[in-house]
Amino acid sequence: MLGRIWRSDGMWLFWRSPAAVLAAIVAIVIIGGALLSPWIVATSPYDLASFSLMDGLLPPLWQGGDPRFPLGTDDQGRDMIAAILFGARLSLTIGLMAMAIASVLGIGLGLAAGYFGGRFDAIVMRIADVQLALPAILTALLIDGISRGLLPPDVQQSFRVAVLTLAIALSLWVNFARTARASVFVERNKDYVQAAIMMGQHPLRVMTYHILPNILGPLLVIMTVDLASAILLEATLSFLGIGLPADSPSLGTLIRIGMQFLLSGEWWILWVPTLFLVALVVSINILGDFLRDVFNPKVR
């Protein structure tokens, strides 16, 4: 399997595209750093005992900072590198989880709607229409607001991450559903699908075993793009103060905190996490753009 990917047309195109290679390197470094953060950085930004106020507001190294903190510290004396790596870890976890939920839900509903058609298809698509009328961020905000009304205040904090993930997932599933449905319409009348149906295979098997692998290309593109959207949505919601609380900082929360230093000289508290977020999203989007070109030979 890996060998096949390695020798594929896509890999050949990949090595010929400097932007894609660079984006992949940046994405791997950031994601790797975020995943391995507990082992890379000496101090956890969550551990109150591990940092001291005496180290507060140290500038980055090249502006005469402390060698222990290459990118400086915030007002609490937290190492900026530790903060952004842990922040990115949370952002990525939420982004990946939301994307996974959205894709399973969306692809499942889209496959079924396209395969069975009729009333089920009509209901799913009407829901999708109404939801498309509301932009993703509005949907996510709304779901978050509803959860605030439904959950008692004392349990809200512990469910923040789950609620946020679900809100993002539910605002992104429509793309998957529409694409899957449209692809199924194309595939369903092809001979191999008809043959499988005539052999009396279960619809579930036809859908997952025969149709799904053949429509995976465009879905993969959406997954990449939606991962970027999910990360952006989380950052935006956290920035707005709707997402995560300040004690478990994601990249968006860190930027929100950094805003307090916009007017004073401590630029790094704001701009380090901001640059980090932008680099992450830009590289994922470039990879998405590259994948789109690979799966869409017409525009090559």
Partner 1 sequence: MALFIFKRLIQSVFVMIAVAFLAFSLFRFVGDPVSQMTGVETSVADQDRLREELGLNDPIVAQFYRFTSDLLHGEFGYSYRTRQPVASMIATRIPATLELGVVALLISLLVGIPAGVFTALRPKGLTSQTILLTTLVGVSIPTFVIGILLIFLFGVQLGWLPTFGRGGTVQIGGWTSSLFTLDGWRSLLLPALTLGIYQLTLTMRLVRAEMMEVMQSDYIRFATARGIPYRSLYFRHALANTMIPVITIIGLQFGGVIAFSIVTESVFQWPGMGLLFLESIRFVDIPVMGVYLVVIAFFFVLVNLLVDLLYFAIDPRLRVKEDV
Would you say how long the chain is, in residues?
300
In whole angstroms, the minimum distance from the beta carbon of 170 to partner 1 comes to: 13
* 255 φ, ψ (degrees, to nearest 5): -65, -40
Q: Does 136 bind partner 1 (CB under 8 A)?
A: yes
Question: Which among 160, 149, 158, 208 is positioned nearest to 184, based on CA atoms?
Answer: 208
Structure tokens at 232: 């952006």
d(C-alpha 153, C-alpha 145), whole Å: 13
Using CB under 8 A as the binding rule, whether residue 198 contacts partner 1 is answered as: no
Binding residue for partner 1, selected from 115, 173, 239, 268, defined by CB under 8 A? 239
Q: What is the DSSP string of 21-87?
A: HHHHHHHHHHHHHHHTHHHH-SS-TT-GGG--GGGTTPPPGGGT--TT-TT-B-TT--BHHHHHHHH
Which is nearer to partner 1, 135 or 203 (by Cβ)? 135
If binding is defined by CB under 8 A, does position 122 make contact with partner 1?
A: no
For residue 107, the minimal CB distance to partner 1 (Å) is 24
In this structure, what DSSP letter does residue 250 have? -
- The interface with partner 1 within residues 267-296 (CB under 8 A) comprises 270, 274, 277-278, 281-282, 284-286, 289
Q: Does 44 bind partner 1 (CB under 8 A)?
A: no
- Say whether residue 137 binds partner 1 (CB under 8 A): yes
Distance of CA 22 to the CA centre of its chain: 19
Binding string, 147-186, against partner 1, x = CB under 8 A?
Answer: -xxx------------------------------------
Q: Scan for tokens 């009328």, then name that residue.
A: 133
In this chain, which of 84, 141, 184, 207 binds partner 1, going by CB under 8 A? 141
Among 38, 70, 145, 245, binds partner 1 (CB under 8 A): 145
Query: Strand, coil or helix: what is 300?
Result: coil
Binding site for partner 1 (CB under 8 A): 129-130, 133-138, 141-142, 144-146, 148-150, 228, 232, 235-236, 239-242, 255, 259, 262-263, 270, 274, 277-278, 281-282, 284-286, 289
